[in-house]
């Protein structure tokens, strides 16, 4: 089995981010690392975050920094990754790529203890960069420029210190003195030697300054001083005339200003009033804002509160450190303050946000200061505050993030054309159920009813130079309606259009005249109001029209074509007639190329299943240039010109070309390239779009021509980053469409469907899925589908939080204390998190501020029955008594009267630190009431472990309780233990069953295949895996095969070999399975690994599904970073050969950006086996054309064929 891995949705979470001026000029951009993807983002003029570039680097990005050489206008990016190399990148605006400026190797690849890459610090003046490991090694590279003003990088200078753990590093701003780097270090050499543990308890963190002597080209430890053991982060303080220099040390509960030769200035971080006393406050992210005259820091704590930190200083002496409460936003992984007045908050979990500064916190608020720091016997006096609504920030945009995907199911619950992907995302109060549908999101601008059922719609400008359309023309069965576009859209009668007849085409002709084609003639409306009418000869009627700005071709009934051209005087002149062999099914003329008089090609589709290309040149007018036969009569034709491109922001290099698109009656879209010179057709592709014959329309997307295809659902064909993408729109079936431009929406679409006129715009191009979000209360763990009722049952649980009642009480208290009691109206539904409207009358939404924190053995948990159609929760049961739900399944017990029951595995007072402990484990059995809409507890059974896996098996319930697999039957008051097997190595986390086989997943030892013997009432393990895999997800593929994913980011398939399987199945006496013994406590048989692939991200869920109607099934996986991918099995050997060769060439010709070897990356833990990386193959169009041609030559193909292959395989998946 060979698989093709393709990422369907890139990771949406953010690991680290930095901002700077990467494009040059005045703009501010943000670079974000999403695990293995590097994105360049920019807020556009409307304050919407736009992705400018997204590159898969095939390596784990661990740190990012930006620097600027003095006097330069542009920032460089330094990337610390798992490649054992430091990489300096520069954004190339012309080609829209990152150019690798330098790549220096210093160590082994992989995320290792002592290989640098985890920490990066740059000298604020851009003279040096330090790259550090978690332990021991730190390297300093000197950055300079050569005579041609190019960036140079020195060989590394070592600043190693063995037996030290590094917590954070930062560059110290000391103007143009020798660069200094600061590090928080912990020396563990003594603790290592001392077995009594005394030295370990006395170990002390130090703040160390390393000085790079530029003259001697040497790094030395300059200064070292003790800091709090809670110190975790360093923030550079501006220096060199702009400030006092030095660093801010963020420690538990304190922020300390430190510098060499300066006394510590310490201030306490204000605490939330409701925080339990034993909890500290840690700073998790920081951002610095620096202007000429002032600077301040924004520090965010682990609870989401942002504090503004300012320093009072006289020259180099800091007199006071002030920490003032600023605002509260969801906890971030990284914050970026842009010079343009924005704050980009890369959330740790859930959607990222862009905020605008309304104020910079100059108003009075809770403040702690070093000057008022009080030390008492119990320590320093804390300062308390109450979080409040946003005062200084206002959110203007958010970027959706699925991170982390906790569970996923693909099913067609809504009975749409394609299945929906249900994902459980997020954490704590920001968690949600997201329903993903393949397709682009659209936003509907207007819907208006029309007097009848319209058959067609056009938009038309009055003048070719107009920016916006002037009229919307709607044709009915026997009339035409003209709407004028202005402030409002209203019907007009003075347009000159004939309104008593249906229309066949309406368009702008020449520069400023309009044309209406109706069945009995052509009406040409001149700019001055004169009307020329051309009547059809005899009783013949016009059936089809093709036109562009200067040319019109009509087809009369019977198959006669008449060609008109516009002459110099603006008159429409008949040029040529041509008799076709039969009726014409459809026509199209390409738009007039720029700088030309006419388009050269006319495409004519006939009912004899052919498409002909006719010449419109005066020399060989109406000569047939080429003929293409198709599988079914064409319904609609569109000649789509793709403009030449040399990269730039939206595309890669590609020459201009003309594509002929045809929608066939069997629902297939047929695409072929038209040779610009000869009119020959080549390189055909076809794709099934839906049950109706696609109608094709041209539209404008991002200033380029794109294609709308209306089949049983609408599709958009457009070019995105060098790929032609054909993506469905998440919208209803449309009849007819036209592009639409007005001052409200520049690039809209007007369409008719039923008796309504709809105006909409297409959003977030380039994305594969659009999502519907339903908020949840706690971190979702798992969910099941109620098989018959189309309901979801979700279990949610959170550690260290208060129950809903306690929260409610605390909240009332807090609101009263804050004097906002009058705001509270009794009927607000405080139990539910609002989705994303912060403006509602909830001044302290949990989503924004997080839940109040409780002791770590306190758990809150709920079981929710949700109707996804209405997004309504029909039943929500909060578990009491610190119980938390961990597993769920539906079960039908044999010959018991209840029908489908729900089993939920819970644990009480579970704690992970210092040791995993719990008070009790339970299995709850619930019964569905009211058509499955609500639940009733039947009974609960105490078990001796945490039941992490539940599954129905032969009318009974299988439960994995710690290392025990147990079979339960339903009793009157409790579950009855019927059979068990205690021979599993660690903890059972997944159970799948098929016939009498049971596939058990162990938390760290992969799969165990078991069999239940009824006649003996025994469970036997007959096969297991030889590789210790830390299982995070599993899926049953077939009788002998399981797919799994481990926590190191690998996906793998294991299979029991056929002969062993047969032997197991044909063991009539049962003696073999009973007495056969494995070696070293293992099972007698071993499964074989048949597929292995390093995804590079922890896969949390796997499912087999088909995302396109009638398509083959593939394995869909979701990851912690919020990405979705698919593994498709190849069906032909030929394809395997082709793609493995393409992958090989891509590896050679296009090595990954961050210096990690692609093959090594995909084999990071186990050698990659039988999986071809589609993400690498899909980078082919981003290569320069000569390289594309070179690779294509070696594969004996043309670049076009390779692109087609890539498109084909993508179309098989989505």
Partner 1 sequence: MHRREREREMSVFGGDSWGREAQQRKRRVDDLLEQSHDGTSFQKLSSGKFACLVCPHNPVLDSSLMLSMHNKGSRHLAAESRLKERELMRLEEINKRVALLDGSTDAANSCTSTKRFKLASKPLIEQTRNAASETLSNKALLQNATNKHRDMKLSRGNASFFASNSTHVPKPRMESPVMGAGPSSSNDKNCIWATEASNKMLIQHQLEFRERRERELKFTAAGWKRDGFGNWFRDENVEFDSDEEDPNVSLT
Residue 845 CB, shortest distance to partner 1, in Å, is: 47
Question: Helix, strand, or coil here: 408?
Answer: strand
Residue 989 CB, shortest distance to partner 1, in Å, is: 24
Q: What is the torsion angle, in degrees rounded to the nearest 10, for the CA atoms of residue 953, residue 957, residue 962 and residue 964?
A: -60
Residue 927 CB, shortest distance to partner 1, in Å, is: 17
Residue 415 or 1066 with smaller CB distance to partner 1: 1066
Residue 233 or 967 with smaller CB distance to partner 1: 967
Q: Is the dihedral of CA 17, 18, 22, 24 positive or negative?
A: positive
Helical axes 1133-1149 vs 1185-1194, angle rounded to 10°:
140
Residue 430 CB, shortest distance to partner 1, in Å, is: 43
Residue 908 β-bridge partners = 883, 920
Residue 206 or 1013 with smaller CB distance to partner 1: 1013
Q: What is the H or E stretch that residue 462 is in?
A: none
Is the CB of residue 923 less than 8 Å from the CB of residue 903?
A: yes
Residue 539 or 1014 with smaller CB distance to partner 1: 1014
Round to whole Å and give the CA distance between 636 and 665. 9
Residue 1155 CB, shortest distance to partner 1, in Å, is: 56
Residue 298 or 970 with smaller CB distance to partner 1: 970
Residue 1076 CB, shortest distance to partner 1, in Å, is: 17
Residue 490 or 1065 with smaller CB distance to partner 1: 1065
Residue 975 CB, shortest distance to partner 1, in Å, is: 8
Residue 1068 or 1110 with smaller CB distance to partner 1: 1068
Residue 986 CB, shortest distance to partner 1, in Å, is: 22
- Whole-angstrom CA distances from 338 to 19, 71, 326, 395 are 7, 20, 17, 14
Residue 797 or 941 with smaller CB distance to partner 1: 941
Residue 81 or 941 with smaller CB distance to partner 1: 941
Is the CB of residue 1127 less than 8 Å from the CB of residue 3?
A: yes
> Which positions lie near partner 1, rule CB under 8 A?
969, 971-972, 974, 976-980, 1014-1017, 1066, 1068-1070
Percent helix, strand and coil across the chain, each to the nearest 5: 10, 50, 40
Residue 968 CB, shortest distance to partner 1, in Å, is: 9
Round to whole Å and give the CA distance between 807 and 483. 56
Q: Classify 24 in phi/psi space as left (phi over 0), alpha (psi -120 to 50) or beta.
A: left
Round to whole Å and give the CA distance between 608 and 635. 12
Residue 1043 CB, shortest distance to partner 1, in Å, is: 27
Neighbours of 1066 (CB within 10 A): 8
Residue 969 CB, shortest distance to partner 1, in Å, is: 7
Residue 639 contacts by C-beta under 8 Å, 6 or more apart in sequence? 588, 589, 590, 591, 599, 601, 603, 658, 659, 660, 661, 674
Here the tokens at position 149 are 């003003």
Round to whole Å and give the CA distance between 750 and 735. 11
Residue 961 CB, shortest distance to partner 1, in Å, is: 14
596-626 burial: b if 16+ Cβ within 10 Å, else e: eebbbbbbbbbeebbbbbbbbeeeebbeebb
Is the CB of residue 266 less than 8 Å from the CB of residue 228?
A: no
Residue 1014 or 1079 with smaller CB distance to partner 1: 1014
Residue 316 or 1016 with smaller CB distance to partner 1: 1016
Residue 879 CB, shortest distance to partner 1, in Å, is: 25
The residue count of the chain comes to: 1214
Q: Is the dihedral of CA 100, 101, 106, 112 positive or negative?
A: negative
Residue 819 or 1071 with smaller CB distance to partner 1: 1071
Q: What is the H or E stretch that residue 567 is in?
A: none
Residue 48 or 977 with smaller CB distance to partner 1: 977
528-542 burial: b if 16+ Cβ within 10 Å, else e: eeeeeebebeeeeeb
φ, ψ of residue 27 to 5 degrees: the values are -70, 160
Residue 876 or 979 with smaller CB distance to partner 1: 979
Residue 1073 CB, shortest distance to partner 1, in Å, is: 13
Is the CB of residue 1027 less than 8 Å from the CB of residue 1089?
A: yes
């Amino acid at each position: 089995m060979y698989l093709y891995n393709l990422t369907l949705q890139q990771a949406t979470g953010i690991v680290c981010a930095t901002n700077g001026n990467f494009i040059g000029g005045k703009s501010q951009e943000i670079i974000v690392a999403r695990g293995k993807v590097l994105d360049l983002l920019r807020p556009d003029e409307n304050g919407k975050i736009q992705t400018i570039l997204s590159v898969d680097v095939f390596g784990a990005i661990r740190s990012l920094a930006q620097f600027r050489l003095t006097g330069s206008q542009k920032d460089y990016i330094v990337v610390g990754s798992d490649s054992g190399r430091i990489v300096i990148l520069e954004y190339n605006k012309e080609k829209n790529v990152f150019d690798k400026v330098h790549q220096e190797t210093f160590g082994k690849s992989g995320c290792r203890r002592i290989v640098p890459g985890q920490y990066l610090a740059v000298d604020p003046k851009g003279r040096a960069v330090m790259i550090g490991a978690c332990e021991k090694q730190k390297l300093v590279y000197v950055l300079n420029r050569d005579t041609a003003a190019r960036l140079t990088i020195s060989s590394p200078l070592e600043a190693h210190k063995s037996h030290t753990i590094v917590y954070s590093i930062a560059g110290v701003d000391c103007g143009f003195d020798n660069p200094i780097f600061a590090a928080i270090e912990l020396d563990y050499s003594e603790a290592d030697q001392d077995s009594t543990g005394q030295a370990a308890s006395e170990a002390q963190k130090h703040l160390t300054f390393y000085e790079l002597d530029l003259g001697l080209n040497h790094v030395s430890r300059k200064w070292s001083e003790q800091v709090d053991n809670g110190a975790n982060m360093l923030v550079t303080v501006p220096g060199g005339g702009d400030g006092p220099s030095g660093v801010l040390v963020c420690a538990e509960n304190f922020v300390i200003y430190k510098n060499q030769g300066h006394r510590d200035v310490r201030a306490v971080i204000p605490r939330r009033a409701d925080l339990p006393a034993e909890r500290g406050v840690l700073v998790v992210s920081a951002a610095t804002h620096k202007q000429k005259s002032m600077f301040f820091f924004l520090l965010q704590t682990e609870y989401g509160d942002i504090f503004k930190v300012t320093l009072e200083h006289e020259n180099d002496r800091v007199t006071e450190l002030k920490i003032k409460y600023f605002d509260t936003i969801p906890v971030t992984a990284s914050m970026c303050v842009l010079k343009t007045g924005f704050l980009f908050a890369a959330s740790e979990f859930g959607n990222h946000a862009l905020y605008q500064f309304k104020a910079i916190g100059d108003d009075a608020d809770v403040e702690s200061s070093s000057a008022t720091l009080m030390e008492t016997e119990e320590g320093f006096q804390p300062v308390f505050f109450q979080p409040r609504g946003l005062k200084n920030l206002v959110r203007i945009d958010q970027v959706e993030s699925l991170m982390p995907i906790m569970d996923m199911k693909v099913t067609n619950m809504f009975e749409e054309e394609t299945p929906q992907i249900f994902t459980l995302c997020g954490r704590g109060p920001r968690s949600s159920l997201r329903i993903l549908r393949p397709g682009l999101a659209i936003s509907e601008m207007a819907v208006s009813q029309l007097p009848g059922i319209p058959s067609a719609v056009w938009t038309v400008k009055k003048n070719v130079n107009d920016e916006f359309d002037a009229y919307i023309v709607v044709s009915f069965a026997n009339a035409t309606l003209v709407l004028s576009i202005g402030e409002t859209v209203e019907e007009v009668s003075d347009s000159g259009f004939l309104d008593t007849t249906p229309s066949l085409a309406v368009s702008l002709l020449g520069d400023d005249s309009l044309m209406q084609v109706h069945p009995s003639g052509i009406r040409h409306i001149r700019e001055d109001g004169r009307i020329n009418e051309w009547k059809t000869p005899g009783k013949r009627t016009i059936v089809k029209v093709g036109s562009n700005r200067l040319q019109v071709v009509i087809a009369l009934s019977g198959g006669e074509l008449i060609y008109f051209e516009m002459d110099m005087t603006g008159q429409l002149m008949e040029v040529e007639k041509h008799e076709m062999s039969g009726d014409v099914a459809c026509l199209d003329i390409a738009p007039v190329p720029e700088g030309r008089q006419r388009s050269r090609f006319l495409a004519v589709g006939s009912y004899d299943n052919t498409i002909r290309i006719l010449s419109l040149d005066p020399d060989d007018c109406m000569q047939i240039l080429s003929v293409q036969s198709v599988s079914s009569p064409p319904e609609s034709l569109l000649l789509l010109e793709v403009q030449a491109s040399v990269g730039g922001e939206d595309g890669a290099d590609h020459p201009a070309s003309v594509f002929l698109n045809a929608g066939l009656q069997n629902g297939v879209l047929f695409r072929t390239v038209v040779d610009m010179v000869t009119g020959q057709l080549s390189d055909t592709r076809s794709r099934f779009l839906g049950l109706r014959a696609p109608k094709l329309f041209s539209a404008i997307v991002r200033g380029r021509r794109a294609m709308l295809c209306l089949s049983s659902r609408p599709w958009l064909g457009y070019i995105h980053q060098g790929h032609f993408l054909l993506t469905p729109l998440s919208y209803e079936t449309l009849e007819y469409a036209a592009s639409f431009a007005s001052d409200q929406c520049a690039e809209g679409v007007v369409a008719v469907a039923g008796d309504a006129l709809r105006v909409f715009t297409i959003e977030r191009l380039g994305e594969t899925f659009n999502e519907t979000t339903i908020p949840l209360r706690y971190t979702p763990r798992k969910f099941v589908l109620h098989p018959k009722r189309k309901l979801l049952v979700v279990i949610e649980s959170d550690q260290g939080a208060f129950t809903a009642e306690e929260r409610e009480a605390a909240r009332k208290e807090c609101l009263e204390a804050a004097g906002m009691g009058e705001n509270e109206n009794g009927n607000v539904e405080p139990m539910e998190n609002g989705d994303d409207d912060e403006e509602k009358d909830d001044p302290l939404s949990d989503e924004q501020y997080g839940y109040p924190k409780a002791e770590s053995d306190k758990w809150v948990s709920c079981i929710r029955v949700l109707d996804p159609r209405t997004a309504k929760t029909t039943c929500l049961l909060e578990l009491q008594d610190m119980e938390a739900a961990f597993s769920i399944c539906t079960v039908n017990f044999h010959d018991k009267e209840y029908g489908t029951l729900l089993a939920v595995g819970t644990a009480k007072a579970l704690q992970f630190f210092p040791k995993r402990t719990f008070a009790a484990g339970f299995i709850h059995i619930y019964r569905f009431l009211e058509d499955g809409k609500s639940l009733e507890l039947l009974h609960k059974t105490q078990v001796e472990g945490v039941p992490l896996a539940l599954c129905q098996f032969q009318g009974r319930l299988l439960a994995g309780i710690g290392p025990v697999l147990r079979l339960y039957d339903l009793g009157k008051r409790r579950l009855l233990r019927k059979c068990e097997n205690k021979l599993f190595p660690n903890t059972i986390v997944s159970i799948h069953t098929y016939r009498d086989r049971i596939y058990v997943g162990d938390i760290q030892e992969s799969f165990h295949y078991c069999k239940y013997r009824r006649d003996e009432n025994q469970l036997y393990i007959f096969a297991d895996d030889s590789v210790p895999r830390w299982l995070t997800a599993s899926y049953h593929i077939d009788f002998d095969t399981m797919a799994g994913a481990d926590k190191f980011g690998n996906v793998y398939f294991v299979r029991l070999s056929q002969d062993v399987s047969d032997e197991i199945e044909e063991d009539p006496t049962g003696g073999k399975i009973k007495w056969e013994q494995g070696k070293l406590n293992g099972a007698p048989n071993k499964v074989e690994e048949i597929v292995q692939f390093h995804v590079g991200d922890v896969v949390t869920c796997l499912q087999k599904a088909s995302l396109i109607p009638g398509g083959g099934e593939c394995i869909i996986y979701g990851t912690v970073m919020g990405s979705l991918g698919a593994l498709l099995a190849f069906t032909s050997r030929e394809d395997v050969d082709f793609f493995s060769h393409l992958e090989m060439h891509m590896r050679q010709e296009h090595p990954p950006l961050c210096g990690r070897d692609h093959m090594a990356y995909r084999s990071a833990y186990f050698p990659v086996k039988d999986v071809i990386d589609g993400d690498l193959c899909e980078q082919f169009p981003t290569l320069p054309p000569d390289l594309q041609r070179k690779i294509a030559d070696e594969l004996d193909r043309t670049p076009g064929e390779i692109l087609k292959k890539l498109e084909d395989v993508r179309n098989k998946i989505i």
